[in-house]
């Protein structure tokens, strides 16, 4: 018998290819890598908007470091000049004069800054929430003062060393009326820093632009007030059924414009008692002084959910 060699070759090749495919593909198909589990938080649209809003508010914190950096740069130059003056005086001229200027600035500067630094955190949050026009000038000036004072404190030692090389400024030190000169230099630093501060105020301004939304602190304060007034009975049966939603309309004076309205529904006597307890809490809570004028449109109408379920988890 004659066997067609090409047929044999063809069969052999097919067997090879199919056999290889069976083995390799079947082997691969077994290697199904287990999908990595990913932690997922399910949030509502409200929560997402709050989170994104949180970034905007986060900028309020950023302006502070920005101001410091800018201020650092400018005052560094001035401070360098001052410090170099002092040290040069020490080296070039008699030792007596240098210590005096060193002590004086150190004493004078730290004294004002301390109160300023303390006031600063207090003042800043207020302008963020409210829109006081005059305060804008004050916080900046205060910020500048505090920056001035803060910088000289650490810098005299650390940054004193590098500034020494620039000697051209040493000539300035020869000028008399050192105190007056120092005062003069402070003024320009304030102006220059105000320029830097304007940026920060601008960023504050932008946050104010979006700040017409109810802040979490306002809501938390209102929530805390209602929680303290909401009387819940211990041992009530089926607390999960006693979910009460109260709709309120508030006047700008933060008092109820109309009697609270229960918009959820339930028929049992227990539900009626729960609804009345919720209404009592809302009535007692007024005026809601924690709400700001700027956000009136946000709190003019509110739906307040009273949910006792979590209190009775056993």
Number of residues that bind other proteins (CB under 8 A): 51
Site map (CB under 8 A) of other proteins, residues 44-83, x = contact: --x-------------------------------------
Nearer to other proteins, 190 or 247 (CB): 247
123: closest CA among 146, 101, 102, 104? Answer: 146
**Beta-strand relationship, 244-249 and 261-262:** antiparallel
Binding range to other proteins, per CB under 8 A, among 65-73, 102-110, 117-125, 267-275: 267-275
* Angle ∠(158,161,162) on CA atoms, nearest 5: 105
> Does residue 222 belong to the site contacting other proteins (CB under 8 A)?
yes
Measured CA to CA in angstroms, residue 137 lies from 64, 150, 191, 194, 197 at distances of: 15, 20, 12, 9, 10
Taking CB under 8 A as the criterion, which residues in 97-126 touch other proteins?
Answer: none
Q: Is 298 a residue that touches other proteins (CB under 8 A)? A: yes
Give the DSSP letter of residue 250: B
Q: Is residue 227 involved in binding other proteins (CB under 8 A)?
A: yes
Q: Quick one: 8 or 227, whose CB is closer to other proteins?
A: 227
Q: Which of 81, 68, 71, 70 is nearest to 160 (CA)?
A: 81
Shortest Å distance, C-beta 306 to other proteins: 5
Non-local CB neighbours of 173 within 8 Å, separated by 6+ positions = 84, 85, 86, 88, 89
Strand partners, 247: 261, 303
Q: Residue 211, interface with other proteins (CB under 8 A)?
A: no
Enumerate binding residues for other proteins (CB under 8 A).
Answer: 46, 214, 219, 222-223, 226-237, 247, 249, 257-259, 261, 263, 268-274, 276, 279-281, 283-284, 298-299, 301-311, 314
């Amino acid at each position: 018998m004659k066997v067609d060699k090409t047929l044999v070759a063809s069969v052999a090749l097919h067997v090879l290819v199919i056999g290889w495919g069976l083995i390799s593909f079947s082997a691969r198909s077994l290697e199904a890598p287990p999908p990595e589990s990913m932690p997922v938080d399910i949030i509502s649209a409200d929560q997402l908007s709050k989170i994104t809003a949180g970034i905007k508010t986060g900028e309020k914190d950023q302006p502070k470091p920005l101001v410091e950096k800018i201020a650092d740069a400018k005052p560094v130059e001035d401070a360098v000049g001052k410090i170099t003056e002092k040290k040069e005086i020490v080296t070039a001229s008699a030792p007596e004069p240098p210590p005096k200027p060193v002590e004086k600035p150190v004493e004078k500067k730290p004294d004002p800054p301390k109160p300023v630094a303390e006031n600063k955190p207090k003042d800043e949050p207020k302008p963020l929430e409210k829109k006081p026009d005059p305060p804008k000038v004050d916080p900046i000036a205060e910020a500048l003062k505090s920056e001035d004072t803060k910088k000289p404190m650490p810098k005299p030692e650390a940054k004193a060393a590098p500034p020494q090389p620039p000697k051209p400024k040493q000539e300035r030190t020869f000028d008399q009326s050192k105190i007056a000169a120092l005062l003069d230099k402070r003024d320009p630093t304030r102006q220059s820093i105000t320029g830097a501060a304007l940026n920060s105020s601008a960023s504050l301004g932008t946050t104010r632009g979006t700040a017409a939304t109810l802040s979490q602190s306002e809501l938390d304060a209102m929530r805390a007030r209602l929680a303290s007034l909401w009387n819940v009975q211990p041992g009530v049966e089926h607390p999960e059924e006693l979910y009460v939603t109260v709709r309120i309309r508030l006047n700008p004076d933060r008092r109820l414009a109309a009697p609270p309205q229960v918009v959820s529904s339930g028929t049992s006597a227990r539900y009626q008692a729960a609804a009345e307890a919720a209404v009592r809490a809302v009535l007692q809570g007024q005026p809601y002084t924690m709400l700001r004028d700027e956000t009136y449109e946000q709190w003019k109408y509110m739906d307040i959910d009273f949910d006792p379920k979590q209190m009775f988890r056993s």
